[in-house]
Amino acid sequence: MIFHSNFAAFSKEAFMRAAVIGMGYVGLPLAVEIALAGIDVVGIDLVKEKVDAINAGRSYIGDVETKVLVRLVREGKLSATTAFSVLKSADAVIICVPTPLRKTKDPDISYIISAVEEVAKYLHKGELIILESTTYPGTTDECLLPRFEQSGLKVGKDFFLVFSPERVDPGNKVFKTKNTPKIIGGITLACTNAALKFYGRVFDSVIPVSSSKCAEMVKLLENTFRSVNIGMVNEMALMCDKLGLDVWEVIDAAATKPFGFMPFYPGPGLGGHCIPIDPHYLSWKLKALNYYAKFIEIAGEINAGMPEFVVKRLDLLLNEGGKPIKGSKILILGVAYKRDVSDLRESPALDVINLLVKRGAKVSYNDPYIPKIEEAGHRMKSIRLTPFVLSSADCVLIVTNHSCYDFKKICNSARLVFDTRNATQGVKTRTRIVKL
């Protein structure tokens, strides 16, 4: 672990009770790790169903094992509530609430502000407050600090304020919450040291940076890096389509270079709560400083246009077989935003479904992780994947390549397969397979 030299100023008894606001994909796994480190934790969430599930020891997050949650709840190390009054006795408070974009692509930090108002009501001396929600550089010291200092308490002396970006990758089998290095940036050096002392008990590696603004920028760089590179390779897929080339073959060949190249892969669009959203926080912030973030905007346009490209390509494939897209039966395989997770947030499958329905297609889907869809104006249930269902579809459209799918059997039963993920690589079948 990496600590500043004076972190020992905080006693072993410091930070024995923690509260985590927001029990979602970030908050619940974090609360579990804090509890496993021997710190009593209470999770706060306004959704009663989540609170009841936690208190019953029932996990609704794939990366949190129910048996672990049950043990922590029974031992009294972890509980949940809808009441913010528990903050009165919290030594550390971690804010893990959503930060969506408005339709205008402006940051919506209303969830952060609401959480901050509740924390401010119960702010007391010695308290450590950590913001983990992704936001634009300057949020912690421009929006949070002034509200807390209204209490008359002084930051770095009476209370400690820090930004520490979440780095959750749902479904990752190697890097979980605990063994992913933790970035920490405080308003003052004392704030950073307080967070290092606290998170040093929870994470395998804690890495301090010079300020909260730097820590905020770190998170945006990480996700902008992915967004821009995915945008670049998606555009490469569009160019390869024009040139009659297999983009997957091109990428695999380029990846044999042992230096100066990192492979990224195209797809039907970006999904999840981070990569499609976070770069726009940075772009918005820079616009206020009269700077246009060209890479971010261009990558965003390309990535957002991929569902439309997929549907247009599908339309051409059907036309080649003498069928219009209107009235055609399209079976979508996988609607989660990435493989082997139950997360539908910002999934490109939703856009693909919308576009297909608007064109009059008869759309159904299968996803073992998502039994039903009740978003984007649609109510659909995952249908059972049988040879009859596959053979009845005019086209099987692979949007998410879950590892549980037997793509050889799927292709053998289907009439036409449109693969947007290169999931059928190496599959030999008489069925026509077309790739992105």
Task: Return the closest-CA partner of residue 345 out of 114, 137, 99.
Answer: 99
Query: Using an 8 Å Cβ cutoff, are 415 and 395 in contact?
Result: yes
Task: Return the closest-CA partner of residue 79 out of 114, 38, 44.
Answer: 44
Q: By three-state DSSP, how is residue 160 classified?
A: strand
DSSP-derived secondary structure for 75-143: TTSEEEES-GGGGGG-SEEEE-----B-TTS-B--HHHHHHHHHHHHT--TTEEEEE-S---TTHIIII
C-alpha 140/C-alpha 427 separation (Å) is: 51
Among 240, 274, 395, 411, the active-site one is 274
Task: Return the closest-CA partner of residue 26 out of 39, 43, 38, 40.
Answer: 43
**What is the dihedral angle through the alpha carbons of 7, 9, 11, 14, rounded to the nearest 10 degrees?**
-70
**Kind and range of the H or E run holding 330:** strand 329-333
Per DSSP bridges, beta strands 380-381 and 206-208 are: unpaired
Per DSSP bridges, beta strands 17-21 and 40-44 are: parallel
411 is catalytic: no
Q: By three-state DSSP, how is residue 222 classified?
A: helix
Q: By three-state DSSP, how is residue 159 classified?
A: strand
C-alpha 168/C-alpha 215 separation (Å) is: 15
Cite the active site residues.
Answer: 274
